[in-house]
Amino acid sequence: MTQRSSSARRGNPDARMPLAEHLREFRKRVVLAAAGIAVGMVAGWYLYTPVFEALQQPVLEAAERADALVTVNFSGIATALDMQLKMSLVLGIVVSAPWWLYQLWAFVAPGLHQREKRYTFAFLGAAVPLFFGGVAFGWWVFPRAIAILTGFTPEGAANFLDAQLFMTFAMRLILAFGLAFVFPVVMVALTWTGLVRGRTWMRGWRWAIFLIFLAAAILTPTPDAITMLFMAGPMVLLYFSAVGVCLLRDRRRPREVETFV
């Protein structure tokens, strides 16, 4: 390793890691994150049955309320296996969240001053609860979305929910909420490293709200506006909370620079 890259590793703010070093570091963090998710998939495999039963419960309740046939249907011979593998992957991402979030921070950390690297615990202390909070919020939204959507089934008709589509809907919705809730922490991390100023986030608030609603429309697997608002509302609140923290960082930065001079 060159002296220049070594000084960047020690947290020298004037040194910059070469592009090749950035790419090696990125590849290393991706491999480590993927390994953690693979281990999480093993746990997800064993969690599949209780999680599937919990996700199926709103369907059973909808059938009971409407006194109609509403059920999850496995349409192919390998559908059950394929669905369990996909669901194990998503559960692996959820279970291993503290690990891959740490890898994300570790990729950013070389650009920080040595004393700023202590914020690793602050980043994880905010990102991990927010991710699991988003997952929990998505879990809360899911049965309500099922109740709304199955409520449109005409009286006397049956509603056979394709198992693949049903589980894709559930996992995508829950995971989307988790990732959406983490984004404000990423905003703060980018400001802490000096890549984006707080006032830049503030100036772009109109575009941010537009993109939040666009992302909510894309990430939510249902076409209804209610589910989109369930996601977009908390994201807007978290965005402006993160902007406030970033603006405070902008105010502190000149004083911190003076201490290093």
Q: Looking at the DSSP assignment, which residues form a beta bridge with residue 73?
A: 162
Q: What is the pLDDT of residue 144?
A: 80
Q: Which residue has the tokens 């003076």?
A: 258
pLDDT confidence bin for 31, thresholds 50/70/90:
very high
CA distance 237 to 223: 23
φ, ψ at 96 (rounded to 5°):
-90, 15
Residue spans per domain, the chain:
18-260
Q: Is 71 helix (H, G, I), strand (E, B) or coil?
A: strand
CA–chain centroid gap for 115, Å, is 28
Q: Which of 123, 104, 144 minimizes the C-alpha distance to 231?
A: 144
CA distance 96 to 128: 10
CA distance 113 to 110: 8
Positive/negative CA dihedral, 185, 228, 41, 30: negative
**How many other C-beta atoms can be found within 10 angstroms of the C-beta atom of residue 169?**
20
On the 0-12 / 13-18 / 19+ scale of CB atoms within 10 A, 136 is: middle
The mean pLDDT of 82-92, rounded to a whole number, is 90
Q: Are 239 and 184 in contact (CB under 8 A)?
A: yes
pLDDT digits (tens, 9 = 90+) for 162-201: 888 888 888 888 888 888 888 888 888 778 777 788 888 8
Length of the chain: 261
- Rounded to 5, what percent of the chain is helix, strand, coil? 80, 5, 15
Out of 83-87, 126-130, 166-170, 236-240, which region has the weakest mean confidence (pLDDT)? Answer: 166-170
pLDDT digits (tens, 9 = 90+) for 224-255: 677 778 778 888 888 888 888 888 877 776 55
